[in-house]
């Protein structure tokens, strides 16, 4: 249709700011530099909660985030 091509650059997550979400009671800012493809740390350090925070910000329902209701995650 018209022969016009639209190109887009891949999306890149720059950072995540959490406060009052699951284990992140205090304001926590995580910045992702270019090339970051993993979050690592010891058990219980909040890796899964960080991923859950991102999923929740993108619209995931609370019950899908290992919680019975949305109020459990905030």
Residue 28 lies in a domain: yes
Residue 48 lies in a domain: yes
CB 74 within 8 A of CB 53: no
- DSSP H helices in the chain: 47-57
* pLDDT by residue, tens only, the chain of 74 residues: 567 888 888 888 899 999 999 999 999 999 998 887 889 999 999 999 999 999 988 888 777 776 665 555 55
The domain total for the chain is 1
Residue 8 lies in a domain: no
Domain containing 43: what range?
Answer: 15-72
Q: Could you identify the residue written with the tokens 């999923």?
A: 55
Residue 68 lies in a domain: yes
List, in sequence order, every beta strand (DSSP E) within 4-66: 15-18, 28-31
Q: What is the Cβ-side half-sphere exposure of residue 68, based on CA atoms within 13 angstroms? A: 0
Residue 31 lies in a domain: yes
């Amino acid at each position: 249709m018209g022969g016009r091509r639209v190109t887009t650059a891949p999306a890149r997550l720059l950072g995540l700011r959490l406060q009052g979400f699951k284990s992140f009671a205090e304001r926590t800012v995580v910045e992702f530099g270019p090339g970051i493809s993993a979050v690592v740390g010891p058990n219980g350090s909040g890796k899964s909660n960080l991923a859950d925070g991102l999923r929740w910000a993108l619209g995931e329902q609370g019950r899908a985030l290992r919680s019975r209701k949305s109020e459990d995650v905030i």
